Amino acid sequence: MSKKQNQQKNDWDRSGLPGWTYHSEALFDLEAEELFRRRWQFVCHVNELSKIGSFKTIDRVNERGFVIRDQTGKIRAFHNLCMHRGSRVIGEPEGTCKRAIFCPYHGWSYNFDGTVRGIPNRDTFGDVDFSQMSLKPLDMEIWHGLIFVRFKGSDQKSVSEILARFHDETSLYKIDQMVPVEGSEWLDVLDANWKSVRDVDNEGYHVPQAHPALFDLYGQNYEDEPYVEGTSRSIGTFNVKPSKKWSVRSYRKILEKNNWLKLPKLQSCSWVYMGMFPNFVLGFYPDCVIYYYEYPLSANKTIQQGGVLRHKKETRANRLARYLSGRIDRDTAKEDQMLVVWSSEAVKSSAFSGICLSDLESGVKTYHDHLRELLPVVTMQEEPKEKPLSQVNSSLLK
Ligand code: FES
Ligand SMILES: [Fe+2]
């Protein structure tokens, strides 16, 4: 929301979520179920699965899954759980299965369509019907080349319905034809609640103080739109003033001379971010597309992960621009992670008495509104102890 839009309106709750919601293990269980099992989770780009048998795994809150390209070229998604004794059938994060999927425990094998292929000592299993023991499929959807899965059914809309308002703008970047940048995938473990990661990411008020390079790039023209129906959009249009840092200056100079995708004027000199509730963000740059997401391991431990997609045929100038944007992003991520940990620590301090949001942080508020609607228990000032938290939440939902 722009400063101007907000000047007329000064009547909203600036206090954020209560502190207990950032360290309650009972709430973590509820969030795991409602947000991370029942909502779409990003896995990878289709072009990461380049061959028949190529796979990529995904772990979320005690759920394990994988996507794989089958013999016909189709991409399929399954729970990563052997029907014999529950081992992971795929132990590596990514790779290619040769002829079949072999479970590392006792060697049951499965076809790429999930059906059972071979059972060592099959005659020792009595009259078990192995045709009923295929791997369990996951909900899967591909949007502009990006693969999403969902571990449990829910009333959540399809990815294309949720992201419908971004379809045209996303099409400009042709991300379905992009390829992952080798070695660009990163993963960090943070001693913080996952919502602190979102809170920092959902506002740009901190950019001038916390992100010198980003500020130098687009600090004077950054706008966060509020979170609406599960999606958010922010845009940073490059400053009119010349940049002070050489890396930012060089980056802008390359982009002034090149427009590889023939982007419209606005996008050719902007970074555009699009978010999907609860935890996925795409960053569209003139030189590449980035993605990142976070998910909890516990109430106080979070994994943050991301990577970069590039155009298949990249010129030297494009590669250099991507190197420079990556430099800005690496600095920004480090700066943000420190803020995430400090915010998460704060709620446990005896001096913590809540937060106070500015109009420029309305993205945090509108994201919290999504949480409050889905998990009304987070509106309680104290953690409910007399009954199980999930039960309190269900009664509030009614
Ligand atoms: S658990 Fe997979 S073969 Fe035994
Ligand atoms: Fe930031």
The predicted-structure confidence for 147-158, as pLDDT tens digits, reads as follows: 999 999 888 999
- Same domain (yes/no): 2, 63: no
Number of domains the chain contains: 2
Q: Are residues 276 and 225 in the same domain?
A: yes
Which ligand does the CA of 84 lie closest to?
1
Answer yes or no: do 12 and 121 share one domain: no
Q: Kindly report, residue by residue over 174-208, the tens digit of the pLDDT.
A: 999 999 999 999 999 999 999 999 999 999 999 99
Minimal-distance CA residue to ligand 1 atom 1: 85
Domain that holds residue 52: 41-153
Q: What confidence tier does 1 reach under pLDDT thresholds 50, 70, 90?
A: very low
SS (H, E, C) the chain: CCHHHHHCCCCCCCCCCCHHHHCCHHHHHHHHHHHHHCCCEEEEEHHHCCCCCEEEEEEECCEEEEEEECCCCCEEEEECCCCCCCCCCCCCCEEECCCCEECCCCCCEECCCCCEEECCCHHHHCCCCHHHCCCCECEEEEECCEEEEECCCCCCCCHHHHCHHHHHHHHCCCHHHCEECCCCCEEEEECCCHHHHHHHHCCCCCHHHHCHHHHHHHHHHEEECCCECCEEEEEEECCCCCCCCHHHHHHHHHHHHCCCCCCCHHHHCEEEEEEECCCEEEEECCCCEEEEEEEEEECCEEEEEEEEEECCCCCHHHHHHHHHHHHHHHHHHHHHHHHHHHHHHHCCCCCCCCCCCCHHHHHHHHHHHHHHHHCHHHHCCCCCCCCCHHHHHHHHHC
Residue 232, domain member (yes or no): yes
Do 10 and 109 lie in a common domain? no
**263 plus 395 within the same structural domain:** yes
- Are residue 18 and residue 71 in the same domain, yes or no? no
Burial class of 331 by CB neighbour count within 10 A (0 to 12, 13 to 18, 19+): middle
* 377 pLDDT above the threshold of 60: yes
Q: Which residue's CA is the closest to the ligand 1 atom numbered 3?
A: 106
Give the distance (Å) from ligand 2 centre to CA of residue 332: 6
Mean pLDDT score across all residues of the chain: 95
Asked whether residue 392 falls in the same domain as residue 252, the answer is: yes
Task: Looking at the structure, tell me whether residues 186 and 316 fall in a common domain.
Answer: yes
CA-atom Rg of the chain in angstroms: 23
Same domain, 132 and 254: no
Whether 12 and 94 share a structural domain: no
* Residue partners of 268: CB distance under 8 A and separation at least 6: 255, 259, 286
pTM for the full model? 0.95
Give the CATH number of the domain where residue 136 resides: 2.102.10.10
Q: Does any domain span residue 253?
A: yes
Rounded Cα distance, 50 and 74, in Å: 11
234 & 108 share domain: no
Examine the fold and report which residue of 126, 153, 180 is the final residue of a domain before the chain moves on: 153
As for ligand 1, residues whose beta carbon falls within 6 Å of it are 82, 84-85, 87, 103, 105-108
Average pLDDT over residues 49-61: 97
Query: Is 158 inside a domain boundary?
Result: no
Could you identify the atom of ligand 1 that is nearest to the CA of residue 87? 1
Q: How is the beta sheet containing 41-45 ordered, strand by strand?
A: 41-45, 146-150, 139-143
Ligand closest in space to the Cα of 109: 1
Smallest-distance ligand from the CA of 273: 2
Q: Which atom, in ligand 1's list, is nearest to the CA of 108?
A: 3
Domain boundary among 98, 122, 153: 153
Percent of the chain residues topping a pLDDT of 70 = 97
Residue 119: nearest ligand to its CA?
A: 1
In a shared domain, residues 35 and 48: no
Atom of ligand 1 nearest to the CA of 86: 1
Q: Which atom of ligand 1 is nearest to the CA of 85?
A: 1
For residue 107, which atom of ligand 1 is closest to its CA? 3
pLDDT digits (tens, 9 = 90+) for 224-280: 998 899 999 999 999 999 999 999 999 999 999 999 999 999 999 999 999 999 999
Ligand 2 centre to CA of 119 (Å) is 51
Mutate to test the pocket of ligand 1, among 64, 90, 105, 125 (most ligand atoms within 8 A of CB): 105
**Residue 376 covered by a domain:** yes
Q: If you measure from the C-alpha of residue 53 to the centroid of ligand 1, how many angstroms do you get, rounded to a whole number?
A: 20
Q: Residue 261: CB partners within 8 Å, gap ≥ 6? A: 172, 173, 174, 286, 311
pLDDT at position 10: 63
What does the pLDDT read at residue 18?
Answer: 95
> Could you read off the pLDDT of 77-114 as tens digits, one per residue?
999 999 999 999 999 999 999 999 999 999 999 999 99
Ligand 1 mean position to 167 CA, how many Å?
Answer: 42
CATH number at residue 325: 3.90.380.10
